[in-house]
Amino acid sequence: MIICVCHRVSDKQIKVAAEQGATSLRELRNHCTFGSQCGQCCSHARELLKECHSEPVFLEAKIA
């Protein structure tokens, strides 16, 4: 899904940036350009970034 129409930034690009360590909008903008035109996407990008960092990580247990 396209998050920023002005710069054609998708949710997948934001997820990749989050996986690469972006934890704020400022850091996210270093990975992909968005929010510099109309700004409508900033709240969506912030929510998506928040979701990416709040997902639980499940580790596989070794079975002896």
**Model confidence pTM above 0.85:** no
Report the pLDDT averaged over residues 12-29: 92
Phi then psi for residue 61, to 5 deg, are -85, 140
What's residue 64's pLDDT?
A: 53
Query: What does DSSP assign to residue 40?
Result: T
Angle at 55 between CA 53 and CA 26, to 5 degrees: 15
Distances (CA, A) of 22 to 4, 30, 48, 63: 17, 8, 12, 34
| Tokens encoding 20 | 């690469």
Report the pLDDT averaged over residues 37-50: 92
Report the pLDDT averaged over residues 34-59: 84
Domains of the chain: 2-54 (1.10.10.1100)
- pLDDT exceeds cutoff 90 at 47: yes
